Structure 1
Amino acid sequence: MSDGAPKLEVGLTHVAKVIVTDEMTPAHLRSEPLRVLSTPNMIGLIERTAIEAVQPYLAPGQATVGTRVDVAHLAGTLVGMTATITVELTAIDRRKLTFRVEVRDELDEAGKGTHERFIVDAAQRLPRLEDKLNRWKAAGGKPA
């Protein structure tokens, strides 16, 4: 959404492929003989693919933040299989971006649903986060 850059439009599609590794499986199941992509890692791959899709269209200083994920995890994707993540931008409402998402492996549809992101200005977001950090410290929080 910057002058001179391509315009972000409904229908934008982006595909990413990732080979599932042991680190992407649920920790409590890593001793099992057949290990699969965990749901949190599937969601992370979806978010990363959506970010990659829109990044070239953002103005300097802009980023996107995830605000909603509604994904059904339909089938296990085994370690060593390739997860193919497809995101399609289906709606733009000012700064809100809505994506249709799908995750497939070589044999099955592993996940599908929707994902929403908002375009934010880092300079405007930073003071709010610094304020939250200070309030947390004042309440006894110990930042990492």
Structure 2
Amino acid sequence: MALAPGLKHSQTVTVTEDMTPSHLRGDAIRVFATPEMVRLVEQTAIQCAQPHLADGQTTVGTVVHLKHLAATPEGMRVTITVELTEVDRRRLGFTVEVHDEMEKVGEGTHERFVIDRAARVPRLQQKIDAWKAKRS
């Protein structure tokens, strides 16, 4: 199956202590952190698209619009669902929903671009070389 609107993917994970912001605030509040929600949205979109890409291709995230609607305590499961809603050449648009075991806790959109891995390496190396030269 090729990349086309309607393609869906979900994953379910249990919120663990390292997925909470307690280490950032130094308090005992242990709830699903927004940065972890973003990470899992990106991961789920990658898992959705990757099997449908040509050899040597991958995707990179460019935009995340996400509302974190409710708290999810440590130990509860969350399910992240993405649906591919738009394919415009190399741009992929996804809608996103995140539910815990009780309610919807997140919603939004995510955008990724299909890239050729081999074409990315020289450009990245140029940036690294320029950065190192600037630091010297």
Match of 1:128 among 95, 117, 123: 123
Decide which of 78, 83, 107 is 1:83's aligned counterpart: 78
The corresponding residue for 2:33 is 38
Instruction: State TM-score, norm by structure 2.
Output: 0.95
1:8 maps to 2:16: no
Distance 1:45 1:78 in 2: 16
- Alignment partners' CA distance in 2, 1:30 and 1:36: 13
Write the mapping of 1:1-144 to structure 2, written as runs, cut at 5 A: 6-26=1-21, 27-29=23-25, 31-32=27-28, 34-140=29-135
Q: CA deviation at 1:28?
A: 2.1
Letter in 1 for 2:127: K
Q: Which amino acid aligns with 1:59?
A: A
Equivalent residues of 1:29, 1:35 under 8 A apart: no
Task: Structure 2: give runs of 5+ residues left out of the alignment.
Answer: none
Q: Percent identity?
A: 53
TM-score, with length taken from structure 1? 0.90
Mapped contact 1:100–1:115 kept (Cα < 8 A): yes
